[in-house]
Amino acid sequence: EYRKDLLVNVIFPRQYIDLPVGKIIDSMGLRQLRISETEKFPHVTYFFNGGQPLPYSKEDRIVVPSPRVPTYDLKPEMSALEMTELLKNRLKGMPYDFILLNFANADMVGHTGDIEAAKKAIKTVDYCTKELVNHFTSLGGAVIITADHGNAEEMLNEEDNSMNTEHSINPVPFILTGTDVSPRVLPYGALSDVAPTVLQLMGIQQPSEMNGKSLIKTY
């Protein structure tokens, strides 16, 4: 149901998220930051807040302009390096309790179908991720690295070796570091488990509205 004024029968009505994780964090009086470049800014704000366009009372937002190029294979680094340095400088004294960051490179460059450009995009994200993980853990923070879909890891169709520019349906990684949780490989996880895991890391009780399970205590 993309619009209310469509004169058709709707199979999937719009779902309203009454208690997204950002709202829970805000209700505890904790500070949060959302940061992304232009291409993914709605994903870390509007979508992550369950369709709520305005920030919460203690939610700050930073948008870094995406490069002005026709297609991102021409600039596979996009704005990841600038965003990384900006965030590191912003974190003097670790002023935030929760930070949500999105690197757009793997998805946006993957859509171009240019494999060599995608390799450069992934190397950029790898470098920036390492920089931020080291920075966060040095401040005593925990870091979750995950995604909601794949793209750049599957850019050729197996049947005829033709270009594939669509999202993949492969499982995505969920990596947790910077905590005292014992290293182990989990047999299963789902997107609905991410928010409960975040809440447990922050010492916040999971509300009954969330049907996922914390990946820390489940396995």
Domain residue limits, the chain: 21-218
Report the length, in residues, of the chain: 219
Indicate if the pLDDT at residue 217 is higher than 80: no
**What does the pLDDT look like over 76-128, one tens digit per residue?**
999 999 999 999 999 887 689 999 999 999 999 999 999 999 999 999 999 99
Identify the pLDDT of residue 154. 86
Whose structure tokens read 């925990």? Answer: 142
Indicate if the pLDDT at residue 219 is higher than 80: no
Question: What is the pairing mode between strands 174-177 and 143-146?
Answer: antiparallel
Q: How far is the CA of 33 from the CAs of 30, 44, 153, in angstroms?
A: 10, 10, 29
Average pLDDT over the chain reads 92
Lowest-pLDDT range, 76-80, 128-132, 160-164? 160-164
Measure the CA–CA gap between 7 and 134, rounded to whole angstroms: 53
Measure the CA–CA gap between 195 and 22, rounded to whole angstroms: 9
Overall fold of domain 21-218: Alkaline Phosphatase, subunit A (3.40.720)
- Residue 34, helix vs strand vs coil: strand
Measure the CA–CA gap between 38 and 48, rounded to whole angstroms: 15
Provide the strand spans (E) within the chain.
32-37, 59-64, 98-102, 143-146, 174-177
- Chain centre to alpha carbon of residue 142: 15
Confidence category of residue 21, pLDDT binned at 50, 70, 90: very high
Identify the pLDDT of residue 83. 98
Average pLDDT of the segment spanning 51-73: 96
The residues pairing with 177 across neighbouring beta strands, listed in sequence order, are 143
Identify the pLDDT of residue 203. 95
Confidence category of residue 208, pLDDT binned at 50, 70, 90: very high
CB atoms within 10 A of CB 187: 7
In the chain, pLDDT over 70 holds for what percent of residues? Answer: 98
Indicate if the pLDDT at residue 181 is higher than 80: no
Measure the CA–CA gap between 82 and 5, rounded to whole angstroms: 41
